[in-house]
Chain A
Amino acid sequence: MSDGIQLQDVTKTYQRGGEELRVLDQLDLSMEAGHFYALMGPSGSGKTTLLNLVGGLDLPDSGSVQVAGQDLGGLRGAALSAWRARSVGFVFQGFNLIPVLSALENVALPLALTPLSRKQQRQHALAALELVGLADRAKHRPGQLSGGQEQRVAIARAIVTDPRVLLCDEPTGDLDRDSADQVLGLLQRLNQEMNKTLLMVTHDPSAAARAQRIVHLDKGRLGGVEEVETQDPPGALA
């Protein structure tokens, strides 16, 4: 069983307005561990659905999904939640930080599911914030941060439990160009220096160009996998 991401014959349908909508259609896809994948395609092509299936947020109607050596078909409820807490980190387009918690508390949230002491949780969260260059904003609430800073806090939250897979849904969609560059550089470094497997949904070709491979989806089927030839070199992690 591979440490990467494998989808075999995956089909997913939704009911919308009484009509059955086939979002993924017998999809076969294999992604290697430790690589940075961009997922592109037109709206409705199934990008986010694929991301949800890989993250264990949803289950396929048929087919199998294996992530980091785990067949998700055998997991339900609390077991699936526990697997998510251990194995994947999420970065959302809208940042999705908890507005009533400070940056440090947001980052420390996933650690509540670990046996770490409160002091250790704080240390880990601070280390993650340092990694994204925001240790000096630890006590700030999301409303006191810029969009780029919020997304970096969200990335720190995603990596604080040291998951093997990072799933990013349009992480730069709400950011200006400079902030987007910073976030993409950070994701690249996490992939290259910490060997995280990254899967990033994006509409932006320049963002996709920061990945190692681009997966194209079209109408729920695989449109092809493109190797990115040249990448901007990321700076070293702090």
Chain B
Amino acid sequence: MSLLRLVPRQLLRHPLRTLLTIGSLAVAIFLLCILRSLVTTLEATATTARNDRLWVQSAVSLFVGMPAWYPDRIAQVDGVQNVARWQWFGGYYQDPSNFFAQFAVDPQEVVEMYPELVVVEGSAEAFLAGRNCCMVGRGIADDFGWKVGDVAPITGALFPHPDGADKAWEFEVAAIYEPGARNFDDRTLFFHWKLFEETLTKPDESPGVGAIVVRVKDDADPSTVMGAVDELFMDGPQRVQTTTESEFQAQFVSMFGNIPFFVSAIGGGVLAAVLLACINTMLMAAREQRREAGVLKALGFSDTRVGSVLLFQSLFLTLVGGGLGMFLAKGIEPGVLGAMSAIMPGFMIETETLGLGLLITVLAGLVAGILPALATRNLTVIAALGARD
């Protein structure tokens, strides 16, 4: 008969109280894992982005277009390997609630510049060959049931079809990709710039360019190229701001505000509240088990052994709660990934985050259990049994 057998039995003495404490800890650790993963995912988006790709945007704002001739001028800068135009299309499939990212791009250049776009169905060649072809991410292909060869009708909210606002743009699905890195999602549709340009504009007109991606030659210094591109348009007609892709992603992340601080504050607050609840639970348990602790000591169990029963109860409580929270967080990971992939591609709960959750769980158990355990350890048999005459 080991004293450890007492640990779960004592906790089950008040099943509702134990259940509520476990539940509160599970929620806290669940939140911690999810919130922490939002931060690590955002950071990973920036850190996995490459420095040999530069993003050129209007110095005014990302949402202000640049003259259509800028890409040709940038392509002439020393150190530039090639240039791709990107334009946010802002359409939807069938219903405005089916919102996802679509970009008009220079297809050849994008395929060359982004090896992390791994084509898993159809082919990049097929995508490049047809002017009305598109390449879509696995996520939206699955959501909308698109297969290679299907037509994806997209209603242009920002760029209505010239034949009528109700008429959808039609793109033939030629390739389905999966992201090979965490800086890319699987819910984007790429289609040909030429189709975009020719459909929207009359001869000698251009819709402008939202962003220009520059691939720097392997032997060139990205910062020198960045300076040269900015210098190029210093006198107008519109100044540009050039950053590396990782800086661009970091700026995008910063648009969410100081998320790490925000997340840490929320997570820390929740944890502190739950920790106080755990301490309270264990102090109540120590008070209830005071007499039994005295009996165990009278029977010959050492002070440390009797005190450790309470410490193990605390650890058991927090490990079950924390484990449940981590299990739930890992369980809903695919759901969060699907729901947030448009704004936060590559969401995942990393092993380090689970490790942090486990560490906090163990620390919470130790902190909640140490005071009751020490008090019980230092309790004399006489005081515990109230035996004095």
Within 8 A of A (CB), among B1-42: 1-3, 5-6, 9-10, 12-13
Cβ-closest chain B residue relative to A112: B1
Asked whether, in the complex, the Cβ of A105 is within 8 Å of the Cβ of B5, the reply is yes
Within 8 A of A (CB), among B297-329: 297-303
Asked whether, in the complex, the Cβ of A90 is within 8 Å of the Cβ of B299, the reply is yes
A143 to B243, CA, bound (A): 74
* A228 interfacial contact with B, CB 8 Å: no
Within 8 A of B (CB), among A1-30: 14, 23
* B292 interfacial contact with A, CB 8 Å: yes
Contacts of B336 in A (CB 8 A): none
A110 to B300, CA, bound (A): 7
Type the 1/0 row for A61-102, where 1 means its CB is closer than 8 Å to any CB of B.
000000000000000011001111110001010001011110
Given contacts A49-B388, A100-B10, A169-B387, contact A113 B301 (CB under 8 A): yes
Interchain nearest-CB distance for B296 vs A (Å): 7
Asked whether, in the complex, the Cβ of A58 is within 8 Å of the Cβ of B382, the reply is yes
Cβ-closest chain B residue relative to A57: B381
Asked whether, in the complex, the Cβ of A105 is within 8 Å of the Cβ of B389, the reply is no
A77 to B387, CA, bound (A): 19
Given contacts A52-B382, A105-B1, contact A100 B9 (CB under 8 A): yes
Asked whether, in the complex, the Cβ of B389 is within 8 Å of the Cβ of A84, the reply is no
Contacts of A45 in B (CB 8 A): 389
Cβ-closest chain B residue relative to A167: B298
Cβ-closest chain B residue relative to A78: B302
Contacts of B5 in A (CB 8 A): 101, 105
Contacts of A52 in B (CB 8 A): 381-382, 387-388
* A152 interfacial contact with B, CB 8 Å: no
Interchain nearest-CB distance for A44 vs B (Å): 6
Type the 1/0 row for A24-53, where 1 means its CB is closer than 8 Å to any CB of B.
000000000000000000011111110010
Contacts of B385 in A (CB 8 A): 92, 96
Asked whether, in the complex, the Cβ of B292 is within 8 Å of the Cβ of A98, the reply is yes
* A111 interfacial contact with B, CB 8 Å: yes
Asked whether, in the complex, the Cβ of B1 is within 8 Å of the Cβ of A113, the reply is no
* A108 interfacial contact with B, CB 8 Å: yes
Type the 1/0 row for B362-389, where 1 means its CB is closer than 8 Å to any CB of A.
0000000000000000001110010111
* B291 interfacial contact with A, CB 8 Å: yes
* A188 interfacial contact with B, CB 8 Å: no
Asked whether, in the complex, the Cβ of B389 is within 8 Å of the Cβ of A110, the reply is no
Given contacts A100-B6, A101-B6, contact A84 B387 (CB under 8 A): no
* A180 interfacial contact with B, CB 8 Å: no
From A43, A81, A105, A118, contact of B300 by CB (8 A): A81
Contacts of B381 in A (CB 8 A): 52, 57-58
A85 to B381, CA, bound (A): 14
Interface centre among B2, B294, B381 (most CB of A within 10 A): B381
Given contacts A98-B295, A100-B13, contact A48 B300 (CB under 8 A): no
* A185 interfacial contact with B, CB 8 Å: no
* A202 interfacial contact with B, CB 8 Å: no
* A222 interfacial contact with B, CB 8 Å: no
A110 to B295, CA, bound (A): 11
Within 8 A of B (CB), among A138-182: 157, 169
Type the 1/0 row for A113-147, where 1 means its CB is closer than 8 Å to any CB of B.
10000100100010000000000000000000000
Asked whether, in the complex, the Cβ of A47 is within 8 Å of the Cβ of B389, the reply is yes
Asked whether, in the complex, the Cβ of A48 is within 8 Å of the Cβ of B302, the reply is no
A77 to B389, CA, bound (A): 23
Asked whether, in the complex, the Cβ of A85 is within 8 Å of the Cβ of B1, the reply is no
Asked whether, in the complex, the Cβ of A48 is within 8 Å of the Cβ of B387, the reply is yes
Contacts of A60 in B (CB 8 A): none
* A109 interfacial contact with B, CB 8 Å: yes
A201 to B6, CA, bound (A): 30
Interchain nearest-CB distance for B74 vs A (Å): 76
Residues of chain A at the chain B interface (Cβ within 8 Å) = 14, 23, 43-49, 52, 55, 57-58, 77-78, 81-86, 90, 92, 96, 98-101, 105, 108-113, 118, 121, 125, 157, 169, 201
Residues of chain B at the chain A interface (Cβ within 8 Å) = 1-3, 5-6, 9-10, 12-13, 291-292, 294-303, 380-382, 385, 387-389
A-B pairs with lowest CB-CB distance, top 9: A85-B300, A48-B389, A100-B9, A108-B1, A57-B381, A84-B300, A96-B295, A110-B299, A78-B302
